[in-house]
Chains A and B, each alone.
Chain A
Amino acid sequence: MGGEVPGPRLLSRALSFGGGGGVPEEALHLVFGYVDDPRDREAASLVCRRWHRIDALSRKHVTVGFCYAVEPARLLARFPRLESLALKGKPRAAMYGLIPEDWGAYAAPWVAQLAAPLECLKAVHLRRMTITDQDIAVLVRARGHMLQVLKLDKCSDFSTDALRLIARSCRSLRTLFLEECIIDDKGSEWLHELAVNNSVLVTLNFYMTDLKVEPSDLELLAKNCKSLLSLKMSDCDLSDLIGFLQTSKALQEFAGGSFSEVGEYTKYEKKLDLQYTLLTTEDHCQIIAKCPNLLVLEVRNVIGDRGLEVVADTCKKLRRLRIERGEDDPGQEEQGGVSQLGLTAVAVGCRELEYIAAYVSDITNGALESIGTFCKNLYDFRLVLLDQQKEITDLPLDNGVRALLRNCTKLRRFAFYLRPGGLSDVGLGYIGRYSGNIQYMLLGNVGESDNGLIQFAMGCTNLRKLELRSCCFSERALAVAVLQMPSLRYIWVQGYRASPTGQDLLLMARPFWNIEFAPPSPENVYRMMADGQPCVDNQAQVLAYYSLAGRRPDCPQWLVILHPA
């Protein structure tokens, strides 16, 4: 931290930058202005007090990875001139219906304490948080005149009234992002007000919301916002969009509606998202065959091995491939389902891949080895083995995962979700030993016993964030494992050998380490989500994380804080 006396070797270097000659403050500020990467900024801020101060005053953007890790007041104190703030709230599992709606992640304290004092703030991004109309009103009142970017990303608890307020008050808004928010729809006037009050909008996204809008308002928006480049909207009919599509001149990106038709494609397509279409395996083959310049492809597993072979033959520049889980019951999608065949083809054919996420029905060690051999640029790999097929060709995957991890040296994010027998303790130990620079992992149904977990933990020197699900480990082993991982700052677990009180978790009690426990409870089965769907899981959950903020002050009554007591 800044302020510590540097050792003798470094002393002369420090003096050359220090007071009394050396680099003037203004120059340092200028230099810092070119340093954007948060890791570089973090490193620079640790050099000395002076650099710490200059970084603090000149840092433009901060991402708070977990809203309970730090208090708003501390952020304000350190970065008073912040221009852009991103906040993440609920655990990632919330995107899978596993976190009850009243869990927390309230925007209120952040808005209350930061909106007014951060006088340079013009971009706000909240992800998986709970924000009310009133919170938005506070934000808009303080920053509306300056706000250029507002992203509410998988947030909930507000209504279209707040959108109307935003539309009226934030005339400088370039980006309004509301994707996958749960919004109380009280009418479509918000879009009309946006169209009338704003002329600089570039990006509007209310994709995967249930908001109903008027086609005429869309047309008005296209007419008034000449620089609108991107519109992603909720479900609509193609016929309603005719006016809009004819009027919008600058539009480059569009998504929305309930299209089952296949449009025209050009050979210049770079990104393709077919996850929410009704296309068959054959349709996928035909479309993809026409897109040799694809960089990003997102599909459901209806694409099948056959479709992946087309990808492998055609999309030689592919960087990102996501194969999501479709309907479990084949029905319409008889040829669907992806296996080692498709994965191997893609590994061999698409050597530029940086990101692979796949829900597979079958897998072999060989496929993983192929990925390791051919996809040297991989930094994010996620594999989920679906549970439909009873017999998997080649388990356990110990050797395959070892080969993949050893060869993909750039890997930073890794998910491996299997079934019992999918990975032995030895294999789990491999993951630890060859984890390299991996910073985030999700593991499900891995290992055979506590030994595997401990072996794994002893190898993970750089792991910062860990999610574990449906594993056989004891509470005690979990606690001990956490203590073995020096970089770990956040762990989420659901489905393990939990005790009714979580008391063995106290083995990992230490300063600044918050331990929160949701006991297994039948009542949780019927806990509701904001969209009216029941929260599907009732297993015990553990969330533990480093925090400078002490105990959460806003826990729901079903959540037990084990530490700090």
Chain B
Amino acid sequence: MGAERQGAGGVAGRAPAREKSTFAVTCSLLSQYLKEKKGGLEGLGGLGMSPPPPPPAPAGAFRPPTTMNLLSALDAPAAEEPNDAAKATPEEADGHDQQTAENPREAAAGEDEAQPLTIFYGRKVVVFDKFPPAKIKDLLQIANAGGYGVDRAGASAAPPSSQNSLSDMPIARRNSLHRFLEKRKGRITAKAPYQSSSPAGADASKQATGDKNSWLGLGQEVTVVKQEI
């Protein structure tokens, strides 16, 4: 079982070694955990099964793995449409996917009941008939902690709901700006006193720069913020 999980990366051959991901480790930990817990063994007929034949996808339709659905359903079961996050459309589902797509609905309805869980990883599919919902959050935390960006991938990989509305493709972000905005999220908390959105902070930072500029002896020609003459 462990052997089946390890090396099950979905990455084509050119991936560098560092991408032997924590998710692979997580999956093997998960299988170990479930072996230990008797309750979790119930209905774990899916564990170790060879992957089911992929369902014939309707042209242009794709449903993402439901990790994202489950997370949103657990966080906001009552108010929000749990489909918002990943925009799955259960009405499109056929057999196998019917089960997974309806998970958010079921999870919203009865959080205490063990639910079916499907994990897509690399080229393998694992199905758990009854996965305890209390452990879902743990699992997702572990997965997200791997820095895999699952949330983002899930949110962005919104499938086309039908052949008529391919509008569910989000507008893709430019890599450079995306990296900048991600870095900024960390930076804003780090440089709290110099937050440019607060007037006091902005004045303070401007003054500090003015001082630095004069100390540096910079003339008017060379200035500090990204600009070109």
Contact = CB atoms under 8 A, between A and B. Distances in A.
Interface of A: 93, 95-98, 100-102, 157, 180, 184, 208, 235, 238, 242, 245-246, 251-256, 258-266, 268-280, 283, 296, 300, 324-327, 332-333, 384, 386-387, 417, 419-420, 444-445, 469-472, 494-500, 520, 522-523, 525-528, 531-534, 536-540, 556-558
Contacts of B165: 420, 472
B38 interface: no
B137 interface: no
B179 A208 contact: yes
Given A270-B228, A525-B153, A470 B167 contact: yes
B164 interface: yes
| Most B C-beta atoms less than 10 A away, residue of A98, A260, A539 | A260
A256 B226 contact: yes
Given A260-B194, A279-B196, A522-B62, A269 B227 contact: yes
Contacts of B208: 261
Interface in B171-200: 171-181, 183-184, 187-188, 191, 194-197
A273 B228 CA distance: 8
B78 interface: no
B225 A259 contact: yes
Given A283-B196, A497-B163, A540-B60, A261 B172 contact: no
Interface stretch (B9-17, B25-33, B105-113): B9-17
B153 A263 contact: no
A534 B225 contact: no
Given A97-B178, A253-B228, A419-B167, A264 B172 contact: no
B48 interface: no
Interface string B203-219: 00110111011001110
B148 A534 contact: yes
Given A260-B191, A326-B181, A253 B57 contact: no
Given A274-B225, A325-B173, A538-B157, A262 B59 contact: no
B172 A258 contact: no
A332 B227 contact: no
Given A242-B216, A419-B167, A540-B60, A276 B180 contact: yes
Contacts of A419: 167
Interface in B4-22: 10-16, 19
Contacts of A327: 181
| Most A C-beta atoms less than 10 A away, residue of B123, B171, B175 | B171
Contacts of A469: 169
23 contacts: A96-B174, A180-B175, A252-B221, A258-B183, A260-B205, A263-B223, A263-B225, A264-B220, A264-B223, A268-B229, A269-B229, A278-B196, A326-B181, A384-B171, A469-B169, A470-B169, A495-B166, A497-B59, A497-B163, A522-B65, A527-B12, A534-B148, A534-B153
B177 A325 contact: yes
B123 to A, nearest CB: 7
Contacts of A533: 149
B133 interface: no
Contacts of B149: 533-534
A300 B177 contact: yes
B62 A520 contact: yes
B157 A261 contact: no
Contacts of A417: 171
Interface residues of B, number: 76
Given A420-B167, A534-B149, A263 B209 contact: yes
Contacts of A538: 62, 64, 157, 159
A274 B180 CA distance: 12
Nearest to A255: B226
Nearest to B13: A102
Interface of B: 10-16, 19, 56-57, 59-60, 62, 64-65, 120-123, 147-149, 152-153, 156-157, 159-160, 163-167, 169-181, 183-184, 187-188, 191, 194-197, 202, 205-206, 208-210, 212-213, 216-218, 220-229
Contacts of A499: 59
A445 B167 contact: yes
A325 B176 CA distance: 11
B171 A387 contact: yes
A263 B163 CA distance: 52
| Most A C-beta atoms less than 10 A away, residue of B13, B163, B205, B222 | B222
A512 B69 CA distance: 45
Given A283-B202, A332-B195, A526-B11, 9 more contacts: A102-B13, A245-B218, A245-B222, A251-B222, A260-B196, A272-B227, A520-B60, A532-B147, A536-B172
Contact of A495 (B12, B160, B220): B160
Contacts of B217: 246
Contacts of B205: 260-262
Report the 9 A-B pairs with minimum CB-CB distance, sorted nearest first.
Answer: A96-B172, A261-B209, A263-B224, A271-B228, A263-B223, A255-B226, A470-B169, A536-B156, A534-B153
B172 A472 contact: no
Contacts of A386: 171
A47 to B, nearest CB: 41
Contacts of B13: 102
B153 A526 contact: yes
Contacts of B122: 523, 526
B45 to A, nearest CB: 23
Contacts of B166: 470-472, 495-497, 539
Given A470-B169, A500-B59, A520-B57, A258 B19 contact: no
Nearest to B59: A499
A176 B88 CA distance: 47
Contacts of A262: 202, 205-206, 209, 225
B216 A537 contact: no
Nearest to B199: A282
| Most B C-beta atoms less than 10 A away, residue of A101, A266, A497, A525 | A525
B184 A278 contact: yes
Contacts of B14: 101-102, 157
| Most B C-beta atoms less than 10 A away, residue of A245, A419, A532, A540 | A532
Contacts of A251: 222
B179 A387 contact: no
Nearest to B56: A500
A129 B123 CA distance: 28
A540 B60 CA distance: 7
Contacts of A531: 175, 179
Contacts of B197: 280, 332-333
A261 B206 contact: yes
A540 B164 CA distance: 15
Contacts of A325: 171, 173-174, 177
A327 B172 CA distance: 13
